[in-house]
Structure 1
Amino acid sequence: MRADAERNRAAILAVAGRLICEDQLVNVSMDEIAAAAAVGKGTLFRRFTDREGLIRALFADRTERAWAHARALAADPTVPVTDRILGFVATVFDLCAGLQPLLRALPEGCHTRTWAPWHTVLADLIAEAAPESDAEFLTLAIFATMRPEITGALTPARHRTGVLTLTARILDPG
């Protein structure tokens, strides 16, 4: 990809992410995104075709960046396994919380196949930390606490703290 095309793509994704995810402008138009990214509408539509294409690209971009960070954290043998688990869960929570507007627009983003690699890594970490536990069940239980309907009932900070506290207690029920 040409350098200017890559720059435009990055600018469009950054602006779309800010408008849709951070500013929660669910109905922001492609015209508004193009103007905010300082690119022509033609550039936006050539790159992403339509709003759904842009949302899919934004979902993939944010997920891939978080996945790279989470995998590196999970694989770091210099960090105690419980800290790796808590860091991994925090990364997943932050990603899910930040992607809520995109997940509402792309309900298949919640399908098991999308999150299967994340489940596998967390289950492996839990099995390392607590070999006698049912790591698969505990993984599913932790992921279940991140559901958007819970976020709607709590402040994001309280929800995040609760998920991390529950995870820590699962790992050390003492």
Structure 2
Amino acid sequence: MLIKNQNQTPIYFDAEIVDERTQHIQGEQYDSEQVQQAIAQTDGGVTVLRGIAQGAVLAGFQVASTQSLYLAGCVGLFPAVVAGLPVGLSVAGALCYLRFENSFIPTISDRQKFGLGVTRTLMLAASSWKLTTDAQQMDFVARSSFLGVTQQVKQYEGIESPKQTNFPLILGFTAVVAVILAFYWRKR
């Protein structure tokens, strides 16, 4: 019974399409499968978040270890290897989800985890590229500043720069003449 100025709330029916695959399933079994499907979707979301978190932790480890090596004075190949190590491990982890079953073309055993592994690998590779690029820039700045300091010291102490000679030009001309003479003597 409605009272004055009161609206009737609409009634919604929850219905699902039933086809030949679901006709033989009992109501409780159907509800159980729906619950399992919802749990699987939630687990998939948790797996995605876990993969992103693992990638972030590995990228943080990569940056922290490489930067601490730079601060300790290590330059060259060693920090680059340390920056590339998580990338290699992530590639190895992603490859664990490939199966070669009597074929040269692999099958993916768990698409979701393989996708997360590839995403994590790409994220770590980008971080590694950034770290090595920064190292190259630091090396360039250090070399440039070293050359500037040595020029200033030479100028202060009055050391003259070596005179530029035409040695490369003379060497090239001599090599060309030697080749021409070798061909000339060979024909005779």
Q: TM-score, normalized by length of structure 2?
A: 0.35
Instruction: Please say which structure displays the higher CA radius of gyration.
Output: 2
Higher helix share: 1
Q: TM-score, normalized by length of structure 1?
A: 0.37
